[in-house]
């Protein structure tokens, strides 16, 4: 589910795995950037990937299946605020009245590639990141007087089958998670001090969202602190190594193509390569429209009508802020 600006400016249960460095989707830096951007009124990027869409569309259905299987009555989408930490939110998928007792129920969906991460129904064998989330929800719900039972029911659609897991509440873990959230808020969010990069491939794009525009004047290299100078020099060296590697790869590709000639596929490669096969096949013919030419011809029919149509479908987008290295021989 997409976060509102208000929710994005707080820390939630789904952030905990990222804060602890155990999430495949978030890092401390990406969480920081989302929170700070929301607090300062900037756009909050929210990637709508396949797992999120799957969960959003199936959540209600899974809760209904859970209610049918357990006989519980479920209040869906219960939002709570941590009673001691105002920046801590808990967006519960539901609170279930089961066997005359209220408990938190959390919904998860897992595709076929994720089935191995889940254990037998009735156990607490769920992915570690979800343990953090359920423990936090249980603790907040208990503190807010919403539940009678500390354990959390996790209704998971695993490979198409409903499995209900029971995750016991761990007060020590809850205290640790509270401390981690509070420390993150005090050490990073309040002083606007970004946490270090821990996953470059995910963090690099997020940093652009934190600093989308340039401001101020140009700066001489010597005005940067020593660690900032080192970052500049390290990037220049890395880009140079990448360029040399790309040139070597292009050379080996040319030799490879000469070896393949008309051969469409090579298989049976040594296992040590980690490569199953190499293909060099011609793609099917595609279609391409010269929209510039189309627009030119249409303009001869009725220029004002064409202009109005173009203006109707034209929007102004914010310019990108690319990082580029200018070599001494290039003209700026």
* pLDDT tens, residue by residue, 206-264: 898 888 888 889 999 999 999 999 999 999 999 999 999 999 999 999 999 999 999 99
> DSSP class of residue 116?
G
Residues 173 and 234 reside in one and the same domain: no
Question: Both tokens of residue 263?
Answer: 């051969």
**253 and 175 share one domain:** no
H helix count then E strand count, the chain:
10, 7
Q: What is the CATH number of the domain that holds 109?
A: 3.90.320.10
* Phi, psi torsion values for 191, nearest 5 degrees: -85, 0
Q: What percent of the chain has pLDDT over 90?
A: 67
Note whether residue 146 is domain-resident.
Answer: yes
**Is 194 among the domain residues?**
no
User: What does the pLDDT read at residue 3?
Assistant: 80
Same domain, yes or no: 27 and 156: yes
Residues 157 and 255 in one domain: no
Asked whether residue 234 is domain-assigned, the answer is yes
- Could you tell me if 263 and 166 lie in one domain? no
Domain that holds residue 249: 224-268
* Same domain membership, residue 254 and residue 127: no
* pLDDT value of residue 331: 47
Last residue of a domain, one of 268, 296, 321: 268
185 part of a folded domain? yes
- Verify that 28 and 122 share a domain, yes or no: yes
| Residues 147 and 246 placed together within one structural domain of the fold | no
pLDDT of residue 13: 95
Shared domain for 131 and 34, answered yes or no, is yes
- Token representation of residue 268: 């049976």
Q: How far is CA 131 from CA 62, 111, 124, 193, in A?
A: 19, 19, 8, 28
Q: Are residues 64 and 161 in the same domain?
A: yes
Please check whether residues 131 and 174 belong to one and the same domain: yes
321, two tokens: 């802020």
What is the C-alpha separation between 85 and 239, in angstroms, rounded?
Answer: 44
pLDDT at 210: 87
Helices 28-39 and 200-210: crossing angle in degrees, nearest 10, is 10
Q: Which of 189, 212, 242 is the last residue of a domain?
A: 189
Q: Which residues, at least 6 apart from 155, have a Cβ–Cβ distance to it below 8 Å?
A: 62, 63, 65, 66, 105, 106, 107, 108, 162, 163, 164
pLDDT digits (tens, 9 = 90+) for 253-263: 999 999 999 99
Residue 112's pLDDT is 79
Q: Token pair for residue 222?
A: 């010597």
> Rounded to an integer, what distance in angstroms lies between the CA atom of residue 97 and that of residue 63?
13
Spans of the chain below 70 pLDDT: 1-2, 45-57, 295-296, 298-303, 306, 329-332
Let me know whether 38 and 102 are in one domain. yes
Q: Considering only CA atoms, which of 82, 101, 59, 75 is closest in space to residue 141?
A: 82
Spell out the long-range contacts of 256-260 with Cβ–Cβ below 8 A and sequence spacing 24 or more.
Answer: none
| Residue 208 falls inside a structural domain | no
In a domain, 300, yes or no: no
Domain membership of residue 259 (yes or no) is yes
Residue 303 lies in a domain: no
Phi first, then psi, for residue 122 (nearest 5°) are 90, -10
d(CA 284, CA 303): 37
Q: In total, how many domains does the chain have?
A: 2
């Amino acid at each position: 589910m997409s976060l509102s600006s208000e929710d994005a400016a707080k820390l939630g249960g789904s952030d905990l795995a990222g804060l602890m460095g155990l999430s495949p989707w978030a890092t401390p830096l990406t969480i920081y950037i989302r929170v700070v951007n929301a607090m300062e009124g900037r756009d909050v990027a929210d990637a709508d990937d396949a797992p999120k869409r799957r969960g959003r569309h199936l959540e209600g259905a899974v809760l209904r299946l859970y209610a049918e299987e357990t006989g519980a009555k479920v209040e869906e989408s219960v939002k709570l605020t941590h009673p001691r930490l105002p920046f801590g939110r808990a967006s519960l998928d539901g609170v279930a009245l089961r066997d005359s007792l209220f408990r938190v129920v959390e919904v998860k969906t897992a595709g076929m590639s994720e089935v191995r991460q889940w254990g037998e129904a009735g156990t607490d064998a769920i992915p570690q990141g979800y343990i953090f989330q359920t423990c936090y929800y249980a603790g907040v719900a208990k503190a807010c007087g919403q539940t009678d039972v500390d354990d959390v029911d996790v209704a998971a659609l695993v490979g198409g089958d409903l499995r209900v897991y029971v995750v016991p509440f761990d007060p020590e873990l809850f205290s640790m998670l509270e401390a981690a959230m509070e420390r993150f808020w005090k050490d990073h969010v309040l002083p606007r001090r970004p946490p270090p990069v821990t996953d470059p491939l995910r963090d690099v794009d997020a940093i652009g969202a934190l600093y989308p525009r340039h401001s101020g004047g140009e700066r001489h290299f010597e005005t940067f602190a020593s660690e900032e100078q080192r970052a500049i020099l390290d990037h220049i060296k890395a880009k140079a190594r990448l360029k040399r590697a790309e040139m070597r790869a292009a050379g080996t590709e040319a030799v490879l193509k000469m070896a393949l000639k008309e051969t469409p596929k090579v298989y049976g490669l040594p296992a040590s390569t980690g490569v199953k096969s190499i293909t060099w096949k011609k793609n099917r013919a595609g279609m391409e429209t010269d929209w510039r030419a189309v627009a030119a011809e249409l303009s001869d029919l009725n220029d004002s009508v064409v202009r109005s149509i173009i203006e109707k479908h034209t929007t102004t987008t914010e310019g990108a802020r690319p990082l580029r290295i200018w070599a001494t021989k290039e003209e700026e």
